[in-house]
Chain A
Amino acid sequence: MTYMSVETEEAKLDKFMERIESGDKIEADDWMPDEYRMTLIKLISMHGMSEIMGALPEKEWVPRAPSLYRKLGIMAKVQDEMGHGQLLLRVTEDLLIPYNKNRGDLMQDLFTGDLKFHNVFHMETKTWADAGIIGWLVDGAAIITQTDMLKASYGPYSRALQRICAEEVFHAQHGESIILALAEGTENQKAMVQEALNRWWEPLLMFFGPASKETTGSSKQDLTIKYKIRTKTNEEFRQIFFDKYIPRILSLGLTIPDPTLHYDKESNMWSYQQPDWNEFKKIIKNQGPRSEARLNLRRHSYEYNSWVRDALSATIS
């Protein structure tokens, strides 16, 4: 019986991989290997929680946005991000069913540090230009990685991404519009953008993750490629980002804070100064400049309002 059962699992796995190879979509109720399920849970919960935690640095600028037009734009943008978080957590919740875990558990995992959120959202924001850089370049970077997964083998994630990517394009335009106004503005405004770019450049390079797992000790890129969740490596994403944004940044009269940056014609790749990957390791362990403060804000409001969730569940029962 044991032998039969093992063989059946293998047969299931073969069939599963055949489906993936043929471009078939896996749905929430379909059989899937644990490794696939766990890879999806890690990826999508981190994506979802990053959307939610990512609302916090931008939220700092919502009331302070400098005109009614900008206030409306950034309010819509941050609301979208929370909406993406909700969509993605719903996708994750379905995957968590066999483990008897729910959204509350994900929130606790965030608070204990077991569930990570993207490095960029651990950074401080200092001026209005940061709101522009986040929209333009952070969302721009996210569009690159997320559009690659539009055809992901897991159907619910791929469908959520269709909507998310469509909205992210508006976000990048919103950010670009803020940056254009500043870059074409007063000397003070130009200096504001340059200073923000100087601070965000390294976090942006880190956003795509290290080129190989040797840098930080682990990487999910091999698994996500194996299961056709995504197609490109971290370094390929980073190079696409350079191709797309270096000319745009330079055309605004801004300087990229890396004197070694150049296009290497032999390798057909951008050569650049590596960010401090030790700093990256600290950030993803929640030891970044604003990691604790943002987690604390989320944790505190979650606990402070727990009476509301208690009240809602009491009403239902």
Chain B
Amino acid sequence: MTNAESAMSQEYKDALESLLFQLADDDFMYAYRGSEWLGLAPHIEADIAFSSISQDTMGHAAMYYQLLEDLGAGKADHLAHFRPSEDRKNSILLERVNGEGYYMETPHYDWAYAVVRSVFYTYAKKVKLDSLRESAYLPLADVALKVRMELYYHKMHWDIWFKQLLNSTDVAKKKMNDAIQLVLADFGDVFSFGSHKQAIEKNGLIASEEELKDKWSKLIAPLFQSVQMTTPIIPEPSDKNGRNGKHTSDLEKGLATLSEVNKVDSAAVW
């Protein structure tokens, strides 16, 4: 299969677009949730590092949306801001709120949840990127290479937080364990390709769901061992599989915020 749009079969193009939306929407929502933490992290150094990671991740989302624009799926900005929730392909895990409350007021954000979600997601992103370097779609392989360079530092950062908090006070251990349960409950669709599974895998766009899951478990095992814990088993996707456009109300509310200004006049240049 060549990269030229004209040479793509409809099935290939649909599969490629679906995968790109999954990658783009995951990073877009993760970066958004991270940006809500701005100014609120437990200490200033953590704030700077987290906002740097969120900024990098928004850049990754922008690169994936640009690949979709290049494929004729629409303008990157439109794809990021205006697709309704039922068209979104992100995992449920990434749309979940950071905790109770709205970011504009006085929210109760859970740092343990932020750390655990980031660890689980960053490892998942790493195994996907490792595979995407070999993607049959070369523009995606090129982007994966760039993203992977930044992810190296994200992973290192979240590893430290994970180990420090799980090797510390009872309060911290309890909060981290609670967060692990919360994250696991939503982790089932992270490696799902949704209804395009067969076409995505058959066309060599990325490794199979099963292979990625296996790699994730192996990659994250030493981290769990370092805190004397067993590597968790990845659950099956629940009925709410984000890859098929099934989402929670958290996404709806988040999208309203993300597009609030642009919606004032979406034809205008901002």
Contact = CB atoms under 8 A, between A and B. Distances in A.
A60 B106 CA distance: 12
Interface stretch (A21-29, A81-89, A215-223, A263-271): A81-89
A308 B262 contact: no
Q: Chain A interface residue count: which class?
A: 35 or more
Given A79-B55, A307-B172, A68 B258 contact: no
Contacts of A186: 265, 268
Contacts of A309: 42-43
B47 interface: yes
A85 B172 CA distance: 27
Contacts, number: 144
Interface stretch (A9-17, A51-59, A251-259, A273-281): A51-59
A35 B62 CA distance: 51
Contacts of A289: none
Contact of A72 (B39, B45, B55, B111): B55
A296 B105 CA distance: 10
A62 B35 contact: yes
Interface residues of B, number: 54
Contacts of A296: 106
Contacts of A298: 39
Interface in B212-270: 257-258, 260-262, 264-265, 268-270
Contact of A307 (B38, B171, B257, B270): B171
A300 interface: yes
B109 interface: yes
B127 to A, nearest CB: 26
B169 interface: yes
Contacts of B172: 307-308, 310-311, 314
B169 A68 contact: no
Contact of A85 (B44, B46, B54): B44
Given A55-B39, A315-B167, A82 B47 contact: yes
Given A185-B269, A188-B265, A63 B103 contact: yes
A124 B62 CA distance: 30
A307 B44 contact: no
Decide if the interface of chain A is mainly helix, strand, loop or mixed: helix
A86 B35 contact: no
A37 interface: no
Residue with the greatest number of chain B CB neighbours at <10 A, chosen from A55, A59, A62, A181:
A62
A297 interface: yes
B61 A68 contact: yes
Residue with the greatest number of chain B CB neighbours at <10 A, chosen from A55, A56, A68, A312:
A68
30 contacts: A63-B103, A63-B257, A67-B77, A67-B262, A68-B76, A71-B35, A72-B58, A72-B62, A75-B55, A78-B38, A78-B51, A82-B38, A83-B48, A89-B44, A128-B264, A182-B270, A185-B269, A297-B40, A300-B106, A301-B39, A304-B109, A306-B42, A308-B42, A308-B46, A308-B172, A310-B171, A310-B172, A311-B165, A312-B164, A314-B172
Interface of A: 52, 55-56, 59-72, 75-76, 78-79, 82-83, 85-86, 89, 127-128, 181-182, 184-186, 188-189, 296-298, 300-302, 304-312, 314-315
Given A182-B270, A185-B270, 12 more contacts: A56-B39, A59-B103, A61-B261, A75-B51, A181-B269, A189-B268, A297-B106, A301-B41, A305-B40, A308-B111, A312-B164, A314-B172
Give the 9 A-B CB pairs with smallest separation, nearest first.
Answer: A311-B172, A308-B42, A66-B270, A305-B42, A311-B168, A301-B40, A66-B262, A79-B51, A66-B261
Interface of B: 31-32, 35-36, 38-48, 51-52, 54-55, 58-59, 61-62, 65, 76-77, 80-81, 103-109, 111, 164-165, 167-169, 171-172, 175, 257-258, 260-262, 264-265, 268-270
